[in-house]
Structure 1
């Protein structure tokens, strides 16, 4: 069920950064949000700001 949330976050990011590369769009919602996830942790924190 995370796919609609992540897709929405990518759309919001692209609305403000129209020339962002795909790698940047993929990294933007989680960049700098989790400081020490631990080895092998798949958890991600999604943060959407306009």
Structure 2
């Protein structure tokens, strides 16, 4: 069985990196993060150039 990164994992990693290196805490778009984390579970391939910019 494959283990996928969870939302809690991603937020913990982010908090650790902020503590170690500094930066802005918080999350700009929780829905987008959840979608990105869930995508590998759907089997959908990533398409070049489909990433949102902003």
Larger helix percent: 2
User: Which structure is larger by alpha-carbon Rg, 1 or 2?
Assistant: 2
TM-score bracket for this pair, using the shorter chain length: 0.3 to 0.5
TM-score (norm: length of structure 2):
0.33
